[in-house]
Structure 1
Amino acid sequence: MALGSTIRMPTISPPPSKRRKLSGSRNPPEVPLADSITVYSYNVNGIQPFLQRSITSFFGMDGDSSRHEDAPKASLRDLLRRHDWPTMLFLQEIKVSNSDEASKRAIERAVSVSSSSIEIEPSYVAHLCLPSDNFNARGFGGKLYGVCSIIRKDVSDEIVDRVRLVDWDREGRFMVIETKSTEHRPRLAFINAYMVNGTDRPYRGTPSGEVTGTRHDRKLQVHRLLAAECRDLEAKGFGVILAGDMNVARSALDGYPKLRMFPPQHSLNRADFEAKFFSDTGTSEAEQDRSPTIDTRHTDDSSHPGLGMIDTFRFLHPSKKAYTYYPRGKPFGESCDRVDMIIISASLRDNLVEAGMHETPGDRGPSDHVPLFARVTFNSTLAKQATNEVP
């Protein structure tokens, strides 16, 4: 597409010539299923198109007249099939209201298969976290926010210990999946996250509904609360895998044509995110300079160091420019950011073997984001083989 001589297109991976076969989501027969785990994350910007029958009419938007024969179809089963039946698929911004029982049932039907077909294609189970906040999640009839965690049923039956929500979120943004340990694999905690987008709009505290700050304040509070959740899980012996839309781009490498710096609060939010999750110090200048008026009980972690977690994509691709968010209304690639991430505990560093994203108009589909993935393995032989395959 012609963007004009003043705009430099970022490097975008070409559309696939045939359906991708991603290594890692299937295992050799001699390797226990749960010893290799592939996690996909995808902000779908509304799950309804993925509950329809397999069609491709959603693709090729924004003046992009190309329609690739291999373009993924807008259905959950087609999405899972295209990516070779991943262990887990975390969806954000599904936009389902808490009272919409029909959509809940449709999601369950979309990911499962009949017992007669289970030998051909795996069945999945879906867990939902939907908004219940009467003050901050009332727009669009409650059809906003929300996350869905889709887990292969055989894996769920084998390793999942419990699935839970967090008591500090009522906007439908966070879900925790805790697993059992095995001889080769520690207990793992997967967190499906749809982080707050910082704005100057008011945030109303519960249960009173009184304005207690802005959405920027709430974003900083959520950073503290989530960091405390991760810290508590690690203290209990869990390796944490945090996946989702973080609503922040980490550095200049992660924004095109440039990193968002205005209004200045975005830079402060970015610094706070870095300090909480990636540094060893914990408290950023942003947090030191701000005194949010919102309730910060149980969130004061100023005495704790940063979590020192690992951004899987950036760890394996330290200088690669690649993006997950492509806003609608602009030609694909003209403006984009890497705001979706899969982040793991430092203890899982040696288990990480693959991370990437699928950054084509077809991969974006009806959303304004593209899917990303990471794979960890806990079998030493398999890990060595997989690491040798990473480019």
Structure 2
Amino acid sequence: MGTISPPPTKRRKLGDHSASASQLSPSILSIFSHNVNGIAPYLQPSIKTFFQPSQGNQAANSEPQASLRDFLRRHGFPCMLFLQEVKINPDDRATIRALEKAVASGSTTGSEPDYVVYVCLPSDKHNARGFGRKIYGVASIIRKDWVLAHVERVRPVSWDAEGRFLVIETKAIGPRPLAIFNIYAVNGTELPYKNGDGAVVGTRHDRKLHVQSLLQAECRALEADGFGVILAGDMNIARTALDGHPNLRVFPHQHCINRADFEARFFATSATPEATDGVESSTASQSAAQATGGLAMVDTYRKMHPTTRGYTYYPRGRTFGESCDRVDMIIASKSLEAHVSEAGILETTAERGPSDHVPLFARFDFSGSGT
């Protein structure tokens, strides 16, 4: 499995923040997620930093840049920002330190909150060796005061070595503790997948289906232990016709099978849900039978925007909006549905930055009794 850096911060007395935007509400959980398709542009200074602004034109440098700290500031310093596809070589400590510096407050007055960074990078020597090992990887950026107040541990999962999962386990927040996953899901392709001995044991489609089954089992076990589960990140699945433009991807047919399996495992309430878009009912039923009953989770964006067309992936080489899909999601246990207070997608040029994905967010309000 991938490594985590740094180890969980030891708890100590929290400092006070004077800026109202930095005040942490104990009942509000705000999660932002963004597949950045490579962290490097977010760690390089803007070209404007090399120029001295003219007198009376200080605002020239105030427009949004590919800056993680600016992003956190614009959105009121959320509890956490999850990044996927960071593409950091697992031996590159300098880039990890640069990422930590990029999200630090740099303040000596305590006027803005600090953040800590946890990364999970690939250690798989057979399936994650390309591009100089700058491939896959996730980073969880969490407010330091939130870590100290709520986090019990941050861990990878035992069944993945490609740097695709980080799990934040918390103390009770509202009625129950939470297990919050930062996910960069497998993209199903016909490329080979190798086992630990280097032997080809199937395709990346096969691996995607296996990972979905392993993730479902982990979520089910956590819920049985009393956790509310939140899955946030790039799922590499568009759920329905509402989530693909101009059309939902149905070719090759394996994508339909992957989609049906995802729906059956995470959203169905029984072993035999209705067929999903682009998949005949027999395929959906077979997938659901393998899932032995779904988790009946809640898609936060769809809960708040039942019929809105919103997309998170805009492939390069195409005019923005010409072809797009909603493949990034924040999904929650059914027990957390009453606490979902807001969800959205940030599609502006300033927010999407240099990535081919745009950020999304969800907020949970635990101030009420809930369930």
TM-score higher than 0.5:
yes
> Structure 1 residue aligned with 2:309, among 305, 321, 339?
321
> Structure 2 residue aligned with 1:130, among 117, 121, 138?
121
Distance 2:267 2:38 in 1: 30
Aligned residues of 2:22 and 2:113 also touching (Cα < 8 A): no
Q: Secondary structure at the match of 1:355?
A: strand
Matches within 5 A, 1:218-297: 218-282=207-271, 286=283
Aligned residues of 2:233 and 2:330 also touching (Cα < 8 A): yes
Q: Could you tell me which residue of structure 1 aligns to residue 66 of structure 2?
A: 74
Distance 2:137 2:306 in 1: 31
Distance 1:69 1:103, change over 3 A: closer
Q: Could you tell me which residue of structure 2 aligns to residue 17 of structure 1?
A: none
Q: Could you tell me which residue of structure 2 aligns to residue 154 of structure 1?
A: 145
**Bigger mean CA offset, 100-109 vs 150-159:** 100-109
Q: Secondary structure at the match of 2:125?
A: coil
How far is 1:86 from its partner? 0.8
Aligned residues of 1:54 and 1:78 also touching (Cα < 8 A): no
Distance 1:110 1:262 in 2: 40
Q: Secondary structure at the match of 1:219?
A: helix
Q: Secondary structure at the match of 2:176?
A: coil
Distance 1:73 1:367 in 2: 13
> Structure 2 residue aligned with 1:334, among 294, 319, 322?
322
Aligned residues of 2:168 and 2:181 also touching (Cα < 8 A): yes
1:212-249 C-alpha deviation (Å, 9 max, x unpaired):
00000000001000011111110110101100000010
Aligned residues of 2:189 and 2:205 also touching (Cα < 8 A): yes
Distance 1:47 1:142, change over 3 A: same
Aligned residues of 2:265 and 2:291 also touching (Cα < 8 A): no
1:275-318 C-alpha deviation (Å, 9 max, x unpaired):
0000012578548769xxxxxxxxx9947310000000001111
Q: Could you tell me which residue of structure 2 aligns to residue 51 of structure 1?
A: 43
Distance 1:280 1:48, change over 3 A: same
Identity %: 57
Q: Could you tell me which residue of structure 2 aligns to residue 353 of structure 1?
A: 341
Distance 1:102 1:52, change over 3 A: same
Q: In the alignment, residue 192 of structure 2 is paired with which amino acid?
A: P
Aligned: 1:202 with 2:192: yes
Q: In the alignment, residue 220 of structure 2 is paired with which amino acid?
A: R
Distance 2:136 2:317 in 1: 21
**Bigger mean CA offset, 250-259 vs 184-193:** 184-193
1:316-338 C-alpha deviation (Å, 9 max, x unpaired):
11100010001111111111100
Aligned residues of 2:299 and 2:332 also touching (Cα < 8 A): yes
Distance 1:287 1:137 in 2: 31
Aligned residues: 333
Distance 1:169 1:56 in 2: 41
Q: For structure 2, list consecutive stretches of 5 or more residues without a partner in the other structure.
A: 1-19, 50-59, 274-281
Distance 2:290 2:193 in 1: 23
* TM-score, with length taken from structure 1: 0.80
1:18-59 C-alpha deviation (Å, 9 max, x unpaired):
xxxxxxxx7897xx73310100000000011111224589xx
Q: In the alignment, residue 187 of structure 1 is paired with which amino acid?
A: P
Distance 2:70 2:336 in 1: 30
> Structure 2 residue aligned with 1:310, among 298, 305, 311?
298
How far is 1:72 from its partner? 2.6
Matches within 5 A, 1:166-177: 166-177=157-168
Q: In the alignment, residue 251 of structure 1 is paired with which amino acid?
A: T
How far is 1:354 from its partner? 0.2
Say what the alpha-carbon RMSD is for the aligned residues. Answer: 2.4
Distance 1:81 1:309, change over 3 A: same
Distance 2:127 2:181 in 1: 22
Aligned residues of 1:177 and 1:189 also touching (Cα < 8 A): yes
Aligned residues of 2:48 and 2:61 also touching (Cα < 8 A): no
* TM-score, with length taken from structure 2: 0.84
